[in-house]
A and B are shown apart, each in its own frame.
Chain A
Amino acid sequence: MAHISDLIAQDIEAYLKQHEHKSLLRFITCGSVDDGKSTLIGRLLYESKMLFEDQLAALEADSKKVGTQGGDLDFALLVDGLAAEREQGITIDVAYRFFSTDRRKFIVADTPGHEQYTRNMVTGASTADLAIILVDARHGVQTQTRRHSYLVSLIGIKRVVVAINKMDLVGFSKDVYDRIEKEYRAFAAQIGLTDILCIPMSALRGDNITDKSDNTAWYAGPTLMEHLETVQIEDDLQARPFRLPVQWVNRPNLDFRGFSGQIASGTVRPGDRVRVQPSGRDTTVERIVLSTQDMQEAVAGQSVTVTFADEIDCSRGDVIVAADAPALTGDSFDATLVWMSDEAMATGRSYLMKCGTRTVGTTVNAIEYRVNVNTLERTAAQALALNEIGRVSLLTDRLIAFDPYESVRDTGSFILIDRLTNNTVGAGLLHAARSRPRDLSWTRTDTSRAARAALKQQSPLLLWAGAGIDANKLEQKLMSIGRHTITLPAATADLPRVAGLLLDAGLIVVIDAESAQPAALASALPAAERIELAVDAAAPQASLTGERLSLPSAAADETVEQVVEVLRRAGRVG
């Protein structure tokens, strides 16, 4: 494993010290058989010098025997795993690969691009910090590119690298690259992906993988490896409220009673006030234990055992939370569900749901809509088949503590287990609790949201009127230019659902949210239809970036004028 590092030979202690403090980046690669994905991963392993001589010798021999590169090194052979796959020439499942550089360790989830394997991509994405989406420069943004990007955004991966591959086959043309980047960014904005880096490359020839390519002098950005080594990994998970799903009660003797788990978010110190949910009792953290030395602080991602100052009830499946910022509780939920079983999902049927460390009985009450992963179109559905994704309402047989998935992945995600086969048949994201039971239902029709909006000569749009924006004035202004609108107070019960219905009706929905946070709604509605309006004293002029419109301080009337003007120019209000 010849890291070319003189430090190893000269000062192994210093080398170890440095390497024991490397960070870890987990990423997923998405692309089809033909995009050169296996070649890219093989190339990364090769370039990071993680191959031994015997493996290289085997690669050379295999390349001559079964390679597709006319005897040149066929990097794809490094990662084409199972015997069955070699015969078929395809990748059939999620595989994990490892490499490291002097700066970082990497875990790659290698997932296939075939439509029937959506479940594998969602699986690989669920533990990833970043996604690499491969695009064949000859073909540009394809249906599957959109599908992969949508799944990446659904699972909440914020950082995306678009690997515009096979540039050698289009003469390293800047025009081709520019066209693909433009098209991709336009699409990505619709699904809420904003942190995007496009890199022109040839995985086969090694352009812009670790070394800047002379063939793309017009490209000023980093190489793939540079980016992977330096991209920020942490989100603000440690700064969010403390959550510890209890896995196991540690009781070696009468003098010790600890609660073990992996911290899902936040930070904890001895003396912190905490609450056990869903029961709701408060206590104080006494000790944080991991091995013989007590800890003075533990953060999101760490596995620990905590003890309490009081003897209160707490067992596996409970969540220990910050007393001043508890999780939500509920037994009826808005959720997104990815179906992963050959046997279609049936509403009304009872499944087991594992959320955090708690397993409860659940039924899918209704499918609000199904999302076509290729077109992002929403359609009515009575069932979800393998690899289909739907927005559903769920009922559980017990109260559970949770967070919206967008806030904390580990307390907002779940799997569904078939009670008969014990198989994992679905995976999902919790968005919000809802009151139960509810009678709000309506007759499905074939009239689409687009048709309803078209009749009004506008596009559905949700405007979040934050501090400094007068929602009433905004609605009046929009009506004055002939738009069909409605204003909802942020405190409206079941706001995401109600707003969703009104968007389905083709309306422009203004949310009056002087003091509320948009977080709860962030997930509930597609980014393409959501804009947050905010007055920012530092903003020199009104500017629309992604789903946020910043406005300079001004009188209420003037601010509203500016909002409508910017939205008109952006083509968002017709």
Chain B
Amino acid sequence: MSTLTHLQRLEAESIHIMREVVAEAENPVMLYSVGKDSAVMLHLAAKAFYPSVPPFPLLHVDTTWKFKAMYEFRDAMARKLGMDLLVHINPDAKARNINPFDHGSALHTDMWKTEGLKQALDKYKFDAAFGGARRDEEKSRAKERIFSFRTAQHRWDPKSQRPELWKLYNARKHPGESIRVFPISNWTELDIWQYIHLENIPIVPLYFAAERPVVRRDGTLIMVDDERMPLRPGETPEMKSVRFRTLGCYPLTGAVESTAATLTDIIQEMLLTTTSERQGRVIDHDSAGSMEKKKQEGYF
């Protein structure tokens, strides 16, 4: 008798979840954020439906402020897998030129991501959307179901979640309602890296250390990825060997100084490091309970 490893059990669970959604939802979509968690989710989807191409499109809710390397990687991955890639850019945010410098991270995130996501789901009438969130990321995630219901107004109510027992997911909903489904809920950051290593999953080069132009701002290293970034008096971009532990909008994502240039190097670095993954994300620092609040308002 062979004991399944933790990665085998996690993989099997994620695949089972994806197949349930495809079997029960009318119009599913996979939210693709180009990061390492999305990379694993996409790899699992390719496995789950092989030899078919995953029977749903990818949706990138774009803020226009991602790293250039992320856009290149995104387009290459969709081509390679033969999946449709939908990109949604919130026209209101675009018209008002919402950006993290003038409007702050809270409004920036709300307009581009939260509002943008709702618009896209309404526009394409998706009734189920896969997301790569993990329960170990944040306290309110720890209590969220794998099949997480949203009202027609996209709101999450933590107090009226459906009980989830065994492997029996109830995907039934009324017209207009939708489900966010988190197939990698039970994976931790370490699991993700181990699986990327084991399965040779391609990830955005930004995760690997390289010489990049950065400025130190409010204690965080920010990469000057394009000319839109206004420099403050006294700031001069300098080349440093840095990498990113988490990827988002470049002005809101802190780099870490590192020389870890291979996958095993970065796993080694992560295991020996002493700060948590989301610390580099400015969005979580806004206020205590901020993620919970954002989720209730419809943020992924």
**Interface residues in chain A, defined as those with a beta carbon under 8 Å from any beta carbon in chain B:** 1-3, 5, 8-9, 12-13, 15-16, 19-24, 52-55, 79, 81-84, 92-98, 100, 104-105, 107, 119-120, 122-123, 126-127, 233-234, 236, 238-239, 247-248, 250-252, 256, 258, 260-262, 289-292, 299, 301-303, 305, 316, 340, 352, 354-355, 357, 409-410, 413-415, 417, 422-424, 427
Contact B143 A248 (CB under 8 A): no
Contact A94 B143 (CB under 8 A): yes
Asked if B216 is at the interface (CB within 8 A of a chain A CB), the reply is: no
Which of B13, B23, B288, B289 is close to A357, meaning CB atoms less than 8 Å apart? B23
Closest 8 CB pairs of A and B: A24-B6, A303-B15, A52-B276, A252-B52, A83-B289, A105-B6, A126-B165, A422-B172
Asked if B79 is at the interface (CB within 8 A of a chain A CB), the reply is: no
Q: Which residues of A contact B271 (CB under 8 A)?
A: 1-3, 5, 8, 12, 15
Asked if B234 is at the interface (CB within 8 A of a chain A CB), the reply is: no
Q: Which residues of A contact B270 (CB under 8 A)?
A: 1
**Could you name 21 residue pairs across A and B whose Cβ atoms are closer than 8 Å?**
A1-B190, A12-B264, A12-B271, A13-B264, A16-B264, A23-B4, A23-B5, A81-B140, A82-B143, A100-B6, A105-B191, A238-B2, A247-B19, A252-B52, A289-B50, A301-B8, A305-B50, A316-B23, A354-B168, A355-B168, A357-B20
Binds A, one of B41-49, B98-106, B220-228: B41-49
Contact A123 B167 (CB under 8 A): no
Contact B51 A250 (CB under 8 A): yes
How distant is B229 from chain A, measured CB to nearest CB, in Å? 26
Contact B168 A414 (CB under 8 A): yes
Do A20 and B272 form a contact, CB below 8 Å, given A81-B143, A260-B48, A413-B168?
no
Give the residue name and chain of the A residue nearest to B138 (CB). Answer: A81
How distant is B277 from chain A, measured CB to nearest CB, in Å? 8
Which of B5, B174, B191, B292 is close to A83, meaning CB atoms less than 8 Å apart? B292
Asked if B11 is at the interface (CB within 8 A of a chain A CB), the reply is: yes
Do A54 and B135 form a contact, CB below 8 Å, given A100-B188, A247-B19?
no
Contact B267 A20 (CB under 8 A): no
Do A53 and B139 form a contact, CB below 8 Å, given A291-B46, A340-B163?
no
Q: Which of A12, A340, A354, A409: most chain B CB closer than 10 A?
A: A12
Which of B19, B47, B162, B163 is close to A248, meaning CB atoms less than 8 Å apart? B19
Q: Which residues of B contact A301 (CB under 8 A)?
A: 4, 8-9, 12
Which of A12, A93, A98 is close to B135, meaning CB atoms less than 8 Å apart? A98
Contact B23 A22 (CB under 8 A): no
Which of A15, A262, A340 is close to B16, meaning CB atoms less than 8 Å apart? A262
Q: Which residues of A contact B19 (CB under 8 A)?
A: 247-248, 260-261, 303
Residues 1-51 of B at the A interface (beta carbon under 8 Å):
1-13, 15-16, 19-20, 22-23, 46-51
Contact B6 A415 (CB under 8 A): no
Complex Cα–Cα for A527 and B272 (A):
50
Do A81 and B139 form a contact, CB below 8 Å, given A262-B12, A303-B19?
yes
Contact B274 A2 (CB under 8 A): yes
Contact B3 A247 (CB under 8 A): no
Contact A98 B274 (CB under 8 A): no
How distant is B257 from chain A, measured CB to nearest CB, in Å? 16
Contact A354 B170 (CB under 8 A): yes
Contact B4 A9 (CB under 8 A): no
How distant is A341 from chain B, measured CB to nearest CB, in Å? 10
Q: What does the 1/0 interface line of B120-148 toward A look like (CB < 8 Å)?
A: 00000000000000011001101100000
Q: Which residues of A contact B190 (CB under 8 A)?
A: 1, 100
Q: Which of A9, A127, A289: most chain B CB closer than 10 A?
A: A127
Give the residue name and chain of the A residue nearest to B147 (CB). Answer: A424
> How many B residues face the partner with a CB closer than 8 A?
72
Contact A422 B163 (CB under 8 A): no
How distant is A345 from chain B, measured CB to nearest CB, in Å? 15
Contact A93 B264 (CB under 8 A): no
How distant is A289 from chain B, measured CB to nearest CB, in Å? 7
Complex Cα–Cα for A200 and B185 (A):
33
Complex Cα–Cα for A262 and B172 (A):
21
Complex Cα–Cα for A105 and B194 (A):
12
Contact A423 B194 (CB under 8 A): no
Give the residue name and chain of the B residue nearest to A263 (CB). Answer: B12
- Overall SS of chain B's interface: helix
Contact B165 A54 (CB under 8 A): no
Do A96 and B168 form a contact, CB below 8 Å, given A23-B3, A252-B53, A289-B51?
no
Which of A82, A256, A354 is close to B158, meaning CB atoms less than 8 Å apart? A82
Q: Which residues of B contact A410 (CB under 8 A)?
A: 166-167
Q: Which residues of B contact A262 (CB under 8 A)?
A: 12-13, 15-16, 167
Complex Cα–Cα for A81 and B141 (A):
9
Asked if B94 is at the interface (CB within 8 A of a chain A CB), the reply is: no
Contact B168 A415 (CB under 8 A): yes
Complex Cα–Cα for A103 and B293 (A):
37
Other CB < 8 Å A-B pairs besides A122-B165, A251-B52, 8 of them?
A: A13-B264, A81-B140, A84-B158, A299-B2, A302-B8, A340-B163, A352-B172, A427-B168
Contact A247 B16 (CB under 8 A): yes
Q: Which of A120, A127, A424: most chain B CB closer than 10 A?
A: A424
Q: Which residues of A contact B10 (CB under 8 A)?
A: 24
Contact A54 B275 (CB under 8 A): yes
Which of B4, B46, B293 is close to A299, meaning CB atoms less than 8 Å apart? B4
Complex Cα–Cα for A256 and B52 (A):
9
Asked if B186 is at the interface (CB within 8 A of a chain A CB), the reply is: yes
Contact A415 B165 (CB under 8 A): yes
Which of B4, B12, B275 is close to A52, meaning CB atoms less than 8 Å apart? B275
Asked if B268 is at the interface (CB within 8 A of a chain A CB), the reply is: yes
Asked if B173 is at the interface (CB within 8 A of a chain A CB), the reply is: yes
How distant is A97 from chain B, measured CB to nearest CB, in Å? 7
Q: Which residues of B contact A104 (CB under 8 A)?
A: 6
Contact B267 A12 (CB under 8 A): yes
Q: Which residues of A contact B189 (CB under 8 A)?
A: 1
Do A303 and B48 form a contact, CB below 8 Å, given A1-B271, A82-B140, A413-B168?
yes
Q: Which residues of B contact A13 (CB under 8 A)?
A: 264
Give the residue name and chain of the B residue nearest to A317 (CB). Answer: B23
Do A234 and B162 form a contact, CB below 8 Å, given A95-B143, A262-B15, A290-B50?
no
Q: Which residues of A contact B293 (CB under 8 A)?
A: 83
Asked if B279 is at the interface (CB within 8 A of a chain A CB), the reply is: yes
Do A422 and B170 form a contact, CB below 8 Å, given A251-B52, A303-B16?
yes
Give the residue name and chain of the A residue nearest to B173 (CB). Answer: A422
Give the residue name and chain of the B residue nearest to A94 (CB). Answer: B143
Do A415 and B12 form a contact, CB below 8 Å, given A248-B23, A251-B52?
no
How distant is A304 from chain B, measured CB to nearest CB, in Å? 9
Give the residue name and chain of the B residue nearest to A420 (CB). Answer: B174
Give the residue name and chain of the B residue nearest to A96 (CB). Answer: B135
Complex Cα–Cα for A316 and B135 (A):
30
How distant is A7 from chain B, measured CB to nearest CB, in Å? 10
Q: Which residues of A contact B47 (CB under 8 A)?
A: 290-291
Complex Cα–Cα for A423 and B167 (A):
16
Which of B136, B158, B162 is close to A98, meaning CB atoms less than 8 Å apart? B136
Complex Cα–Cα for A261 and B293 (A):
36
Q: Which residues of B contact A289 (CB under 8 A)?
A: 50-51
Asked if B161 is at the interface (CB within 8 A of a chain A CB), the reply is: yes
Q: Which residues of A contact B217 (CB under 8 A)?
A: none
Do A123 and B165 form a contact, CB below 8 Å, given A52-B274, A81-B140, A301-B12?
yes
